[in-house]
A and B are shown apart, each in its own frame.
Chain A
Amino acid sequence: MYPNDFRYTKEHEWIKAEGDEALVGITDFAQHQLGDIIYVELPAVGKELAARQSIGVVESVKSVSDVYAPVPGTVTAVNEALAQTADLLNKDPHGQGWIVRIKIKDKKDLDGLISAGDYEKFLEGLEH
Chain B
Amino acid sequence: MRKTRFNELHKKLGGKMIEFVGWEMPIEYSGIIPEHMAVRTKAGLFDVSHMGEVLVTGKDALAYVQWLTPNDASKLAPGQVQYTALMTPESTFVDDMLVYCIGPEEYFLVVNAANDDKDFAWIAGHTQGFEVKVEHQSDAYSQLALQGPLAEKILQPLTDIDLVVMKSFHWAKGRVAGKAALVSRTGYTGEDGFEIYTMDPDPGVIWTTLIETGRPLGLQPIGLGARDTLRLESKLMLYGNDISDKTTVLEADLKWIVKLQKGDFLGKPVIEKQLAEGLTRKLVGFEMAEPGIARPHYPVFFKGQRVGEVASGTFSPLLKKAIGLVYLPIEGTAVGTEFEIEIRGKRTKARVIPTPFYKRAKK
**Which residues from chain A sit less than 8 Å from chain B, CB to CB?**
35-36, 38-39, 41, 57, 59-62, 64, 83
Give B37 Cβ to nearest chain A Cβ, in Å: 11
Q: Which of B27, B32, B292 contacts A36 (CB 8 A)?
A: B32
Q: Is the interface of A mostly helix, strand, loop or mixed?
A: strand
Instruction: Give the shortest distance, in Å, between B26 (CB) and chain A (any CB).
Output: 13
Residue B184 interfacial (CB < 8 Å): no
Contacts of B314 in A (CB 8 A): 61-62
Tell which of A35, A39, A57, A83 touches B32, judged by Cβ atoms closer than 8 Å.
Answer: A35
A36 to B28, CA, bound (A): 11
A38 CA to B313 CA, complexed, in Å: 14
Q: Give Cα A35–Cα B322 distance, bound, in whole angstroms.
A: 17
Q: Which of B25-67 contact A (CB under 8 A)?
A: 27-28, 31-34
Contact B33 A36 (CB under 8 A): yes
Question: Is B317 an interface residue when CB atoms closer than 8 A count as contact?
Answer: yes
Interface residues in B322-352 (C-beta closer than 8 Å to A): 322, 344
Q: Does B293 contact A (CB under 8 A)?
A: yes
Contacts of A36 in B (CB 8 A): 31-34
Question: How far is the CB of B111 from the nearest CB of chain A, in Å?
Answer: 24
| Per-position binary interface string of chain B over residues 178-214, scored 1 when its CB falls under 8 Å from any chain A CB and 0 otherwise | 0000000000000000000000000000000000000
User: CA separation between A41 and B69, bound complex, in Å?
Assistant: 45
Whether the pair B31, A35 counts as a contact (CB closer than 8 A) is yes
Interface check B315, CB cutoff 8 A: yes
Instruction: Tell me the minimal C-beta distance from A98 to chain B in angstroms.
Output: 20
* Chain A contacts for B322, CB-based, 8 A: 39
Residues of B within 8 A of A39 (CB): 291-293, 315, 322
CB distance from A56 to the nearest CB of B (A): 10
Query: What are 29 A-B interface contacts by the 8 Å CB criterion?
Result: A35-B28, A35-B31, A35-B225, A36-B31, A36-B33, A36-B34, A38-B293, A38-B315, A39-B291, A39-B292, A39-B293, A39-B315, A39-B322, A41-B292, A41-B344, A57-B344, A59-B315, A61-B33, A61-B225, A61-B229, A61-B314, A61-B315, A61-B317, A62-B27, A62-B28, A62-B32, A62-B314, A64-B293, A83-B291
Contact partners of A62 in chain B: CB under 8 A: 27-28, 32, 225, 228, 314
B268 contacts A by Cβ under 8 Å: no
CA distance A61 to B68 in the complex (A): 37
Nearest CB to that of A83 among chain B residues? B291
Known: A36-B34, A39-B315. 8 other contacts (CB 8 A): A38-B293, A39-B291, A39-B293, A41-B292, A41-B344, A61-B317, A62-B27, A62-B28
Q: Which residue of chain A lies nearest to B224 when distances are taken between CB atoms in the complex? A: A62
B282 at interface, CB cutoff 8 A: no
Specify which chain A residues have a CB less than 8 angstroms from the CB of B317 in the assembled complex: 61
* Shortest beta-carbon distance from B358 to chain A in Å: 15
Any chain A CB within 8 A of the CB of B170?
no
Measured CA separation A55–B31 after assembly (Å): 26
